[in-house]
Structure formats: C-alpha cells, structure tokens
Structure 1
Amino acid sequence: MINVLVVDDNSFITGGLEIILGTMDEIEVVGSAENGAEAVAFCQAQAVDVVLMDVRMPVMDGVEATKQITETTDAKVIILTTFDDDVFILKAIANGAKGYLLKNNEPELIRHAVMSVMRNQSIIQEEIWDKVRQSLETEKPDVSPDLSGLHLTAREMDVMKAVASGLSNKEIAKNLFISEGTVANNISALLGKLGLDHRTQLAILYLTGKVGGGEM
C-alpha cells in the first residue's frame, strides 16, 4: 500500500480526494493537513510515501513545506495546483517536488502520478510545462546561457535541447533517428552526469543556465 497525505486548506478538496483515493486498491490515505506546517509535522511523525500538496495555504505554503519534507523525510511530494499558481512552479521543483498536476484532473491521472513518483519517475502535466516553457522563453536573455562548462557531447546537447522544447521521448527519437530506448538512456545518463532528478530540471537548465533558480 502507498501511504498518502492530502494537504489543502479547503476541506472540500481534502475530503473529495480522500474519498476518491480511498477507492483505489494500491493507495491508503493516512491523513490530511490544512497547511504546510501541519504537513511537515505529520510526515516527520508518521510514515508517508506521497504527499498531495496544495500551494497557497496559511501558516506555511506548499513550496516551503515541500522543501522541509523532502529534506527531512523520505516522502515524495506532488503539487496539486491551479493555473494561477504557475509562478510557484520553478521554486517547488527546486525544492524537490516530484510531480506537478492541475487540481481538476480525473482520478485516474492522479493515481497514475502517485504510482509514477513511487517508481522514482517525475510527473509534470503538459499544460503546466507549456506555461513554464513559455515563461522561461519570454524571460530568456538575448544571449543563450553558456553551457560549455557542462562538458556535454553534441548528442547530449541535442537531447537536452529536445527535452527543453517539450518533446516526448517518441518525438525525440524520431527527430534524432534513434530508438526510444536510446533516448531514455541518454536522458538518464544526462541526469546522472548533471546531478539532476528529472527532465524538467534538465529543460530549465538548458533554457536558463540554472536549475529551478540555482546556478549549476
């Protein structure tokens, strides 16, 4: 069973998620919290596998709570957000969030996200990533960031650029005339080489020369 904590200051949201997740065989909701401080305390006191975390909450917001939870526990955080919260996305990623989903998703997509982060995969919904990419490209300086210090091969740079463009592994494979398996291996190797956790950080690094707000 995957132990899930639901965090939101709206009891309608937490109650609804508890009911929905309670119908799933692989998931057990072990509790709920109304703010980030409660979530941190809960995760530090009890075994939690995945936290479904709101962003805007009193006492402590979800971005800071994500940082404290990922630094002090083994719990993995999935941010549940609205489009109005997109300014927090990069900071939440930098703070260790493993997933980023819109709140109005179908239950099956939330279940898939929970299962994916438990397999050490990171999830960011396409609509959210499109907004992040557009924002980064709008703010991107006229001179592209100098990535020469990363010592990447031409193929690694091609893969990194494709990821930053929002292409799927299938699309990258088609464009670079390699197999999807090779693409996946190249991305995994890049993440390991650069000390990153997921492809979103890889894309942010390519576009800005930074990882979620911090220089490499």
Structure 2
Amino acid sequence: MGMKDTSSPEPMKIKVIIADDNSFVREGMRIILSTYDEFEVVATVNDGQEAFRYCKNHDVDIALLDVRMPNMNGVEATKLICEQTKTKPLILTTFDDDEHILDAIRNGAKGYFLKNTDPERIREAIKAVYNGNIIMQDVVMEKIKSSLKEEKEAEPKVDKSLFTEREMEIMSLIAKGLSNKEISKQLFISEGTIANYITSILDKTGLQHRTQIAIYYLTGKIS
C-alpha cells in the first residue's frame, strides 16, 4: 500500500532558453551556463519566433534573447513572451543602441546585458531576474539616461488627467534619472512617500518599474 519515496528531491533548476542566430554565441552561452549547477539550458534556438513558440509550449523561467535575429527579433519576441507566457525575457546583445534598449524595456524585458559581460555577472543577472528583479548594466543605464536627457526639457506626452500634480512632478524627476533619495531631497518628502507615489503611478499605468515610467513620461507610450 504505502509507497516509499526513496529519492531526495533535487533542488529546482532555473530553466533557460537561449535565442541567437549566431551558433557560436548560442553554443558558447550554453556551455557557460551549463557549468553552473543552478541552470538547466532547456533549448537553444535561432530566432525570436522559435523562442516564443518554445516558451509557449514548455515551462521556461528565463529567455535569453539576442536583439537582432531573422524572422522575429528579440524586441518583438519579448512582447509576445511577456503577453502570453510566464517566461521572463533577458536581452543579451552586442548592440547597445538606445532605440532597441527602450523598445525592449517597454515590451517588458526584465534586463539588458551586453554579450561580452563576464560569465559570473551573467549568472548573477539571470538569478536576479528569476527572483523578480530588474537588471540593467551600468553602460546600458547610461545610454538610457543620456537619450532621456536629450528629451528631458520636452513637454511630457502623458495624459495629465490620470495623475496628480505631485505624481507628474515625480515622473519628471524619474525621467531625469534621479533616484528616490535625490527626489526626496528635491521635494522635501520622505523616500517612503515617494515609493508610495511610484506604486500609485505603476498601478495607474500597468507599468512594472521606474525605467518604464521614465520612458512613458517622455514618449506617452505604455508599450
């Protein structure tokens, strides 16, 4: 009658898919990740379409997506994967051009890393994204900030009727790249209060994090 469970449960591995049209990069990344116990590379694919299809039909935790791929690029794949699966996309690319960074984040990418990043940092990034964090490499954040600064004096393109005056103020300072601590000093309100305002802004817009707020403030686009 009673069935004995003799096997001890294995620790859960983070299931990763790698999408890149360059087989050398794809294989290299697979080998790197396979050296770490906490990852299981469940598939390697050529383009965004294959990545999306795989994530839709299988249980995948993290999708590492190249930006430039045939058939469907990483930005488009990010959008579909976020909309229709539970997989978290992490953009991995040699290109650090602003347009793709912004588009990928708008579409729900949880992080953005350059391919020449040290393997140990890629490992940490995947684990952080798996645990619900957003990962932006410094060089990439600088790109975003510089592209946002060029537009920062522009009239905001958001629907002002949705937000209080204070929320508009906080969004404009986020768009200028200020941290909560810096906003707190400028507006003479506590960091806790600012965090509450940010939560309210995220609730009203359906956005997920402050980088998306900055982009939304300047472009008026949610996705």
Q: Tell me the TM-score normalized by structure 1.
A: 0.82
Question: How far does residue 57 in structure 1 lie from its aligned partner after superposition?
Answer: 1.1
Structure 1 residue runs of 5 or longer lacking an equivalent are none
Match of 2:146 in 1: 134
Q: Tell me how far apart the structure 2 counterparts of residues 23 and 6 of structure 1 sit (CA, whole Å).
A: 15
Structure 1 counterpart of 2:115, from 92, 100, 103: 103
RMSD: 2.6
In structure 2, what is the Cα distance between the partners aligned to 1:139 and 1:186? 23
CA contact (8 A) 1:50 1:114 kept: yes
**TM-score scaled to structure 2, two decimals?**
0.80
* 3-state secondary structure, aligned to 1:211: coil
- Per-residue CA shift, 1:80-135, capped at 9, x if unaligned? 12345432222222322221122222223322322232233322223223323333
Residues 50-104 of structure 1 show CA distances to partners (whole Å, capped at 9, x for unaligned) of 1010011122211222222222211110111234543222222232222112222
- Cα distance in structure 1, aligned partners of 2:146 and 2:25: 29
Pairing 1:208–2:219 present: yes
What's 1:197 paired with? 208
Partner of 1:40: 52
1:50-69 aligned within 5 A: 50-69=62-81
When the two structures are aligned, how many residues end up with a matched partner? 211
Partner of 1:9: 21
Q: CA deviation at 1:42?
A: 1.5
Q: Quick one: structure 1 residues 23 and 82, their matched pair in 2 at CA, closer, same or farther if it must change by over 3 Å?
A: same
Q: 1:28 to 1:131 in 2, by over 3 A?
A: same
The answer to whether the Cα contact below 8 Å between 2:158 and 2:219 also exists between their aligned partners in 1 is: no
Cα distance, 1:4–1:180 mapped onto 2, change above 3 Å: farther
Instruction: State the SS of the aligned residue for 2:212.
Output: helix
Contact 1:54-1:80 within 8 A present in 2 as well: yes
Cα deviation for residue 29 of structure 1 reads 1.5
Match of 1:72 among 42, 65, 84: 84
The more displaced of 92-101 and 2-11 is: 92-101
Give 1:149-164 correspondences, 5 Å limit: 149-154=161-166, 156-164=167-175
Does the 8 A contact of 1:121 with 1:198 survive in 2?
A: no
Q: Distance in 2 between matches of 1:158 and 1:187?
A: 11
Q: 1:175 to 1:12 in 2, by over 3 A?
A: farther
Larger deviation: 165-174 or 36-45?
Answer: 165-174
Q: Distance in 1 between matches of 2:85 and 2:18?
A: 16
Distance 1:161 1:175 in 2: 12
- Return the offset for 1:39: 1.0
Q: Distance in 1 between matches of 2:196 and 2:116?
A: 33
Is the partner of 1:120 in helix, strand or coil?
coil
- Number of the residue aligned with 1:82: 94
Does the CA contact (< 8 Å) of 1:2 and 1:28 recur in 2?
Answer: yes
